[in-house]
């Protein structure tokens, strides 16, 4: 039976540590979140980010812009936050409404304030293994979880399912930087279970419920479930058939209570680090 990797507990530990360190600072870290439109999931995520930033003792500001915000208005806001000394971290909540292309904006955020690590300079630094100003929050949180449970990455076969710019790609790069042998799989991958069965560390980030079943997992593997899917009853679930896979895996993350809380803890850490870097 797998050991459960408790993301909630580790996240609380990280958040308490940052809160303590923040109490000793002369000026408080400032997190600015920009929310455009009315996406219900985004509204919940932003509220949670604001709450955790406030709990940590940060100054937290949410800029709520209407669904039909124009390109210039959003660029002006980003520009003014780039020039605002109190804004250490700027986060543009995704997805944006359809008429706005996120890549018209993400590269306008000052890379030294890019708390999500999505700016091309930070993505490039990650690729070069050259200290990005921020590392994307979900991959960073997953690495912290692997570290907490003393999972050996060097030399491990790591399979990452999903190739998004916010999770799959940066995660694969981070694992490669730590000397794992990394395979990326995605919606066009053939013979998926043959690949996943090779994994010492299997990370699924697709948003497809139960895509990872017991027969796809090697005995003793570490299984990390990034997926967040709300079922018809409003209950959260992940990519992994948790109840069956836990019988064969060595370690496994639950949904909720696994990767999700680690993402928020990483955001708070990133904001703190950007503030300290500036001082």
Residue 93 falls in the annotated catalytic set: yes
Smallest separation (angstroms) from ligand NAD to the CB of 163: 4
Please, are residues 145 and 253 in contact by the beta-carbon 8 Å criterion? Answer: yes
Smallest separation (angstroms) from ligand NAD to the CB of 108: 21
Residue 241 falls in the annotated catalytic set: no
Catalytic member of 6, 49, 246, 269? 49
Residues binding ligand NAD (CB under 6 A): 138, 161-164, 166-168, 185-187, 189, 205-208, 211, 226-229, 259-260, 263
Residue 49 falls in the annotated catalytic set: yes
Catalytic member of 88, 114, 116, 200? 116
Smallest separation (angstroms) from ligand NAD to the CB of 180: 19
Smallest separation (angstroms) from ligand NAD to the CB of 165: 8
Catalytic member of 6, 88, 93, 140? 93
Q: Give the nearer residue to ligand NAD in terms of CB position, either 87 or 265.
A: 265
Please, are residues 75 and 53 in contact by the beta-carbon 8 Å criterion? Answer: no
The CB-nearest residue to ligand NAD is: 207
Active site residues: 49, 93, 116
């Amino acid at each position: 039976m797998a050991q459960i990797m408790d993301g909630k507990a580790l996240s609380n530990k990280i958040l308490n540590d940052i809160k303590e360190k923040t109490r000793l600072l002369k000026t408080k870290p400032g997190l600015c979140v920009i929310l455009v439109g009315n996406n219900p999931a985004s509204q919940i995520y932003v509220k949670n980010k604001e709450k955790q930033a406030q709990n940590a003792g940060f100054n937290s500001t949410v800029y709520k812009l209407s669904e039909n915000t124009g390109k210039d208005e959003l660029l002006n806001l980003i520009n003014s936050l780039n020039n605002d000394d109190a804004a250490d971290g700027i986060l543009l909540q995704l997805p944006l409404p359809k008429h706005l292309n996120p890549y018209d904006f993400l590269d306008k955020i000052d890379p030294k304030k890019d708390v999500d690590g999505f700016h091309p300079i930070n993505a490039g630094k990650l690729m070069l293994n050259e200290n990005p100003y921020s590392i994307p929050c979900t991959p960073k949180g997953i690495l912290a979880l692997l570290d907490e449970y003393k999972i050996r990455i060097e030399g491990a076969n790591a399979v990452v399912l999903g190739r998004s710019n916010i999770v799959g790609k940066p995660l694969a790069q981070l694992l490669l930087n730590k000397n794992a042998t990394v395979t990326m799989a995605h919606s066009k991958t053939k013979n998926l279970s043959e690949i996943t069965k090779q994994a010492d560390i299997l990370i699924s980030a697709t948003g497809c419920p139960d895509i990872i079943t017991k027969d796809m997992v090697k005995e003793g593997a570490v299984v990390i479930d990034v997926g967040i899917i709300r079922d018809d009853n409003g209950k959260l679930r992940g990519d992994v058939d948790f109840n069956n896979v836990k019988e064969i895996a060595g370690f496994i993350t639950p949904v909720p209570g696994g990767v999700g809380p680690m993402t928020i803890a990483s955001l708070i850490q990133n904001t703190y680090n950007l503030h300290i870097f500036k001082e």
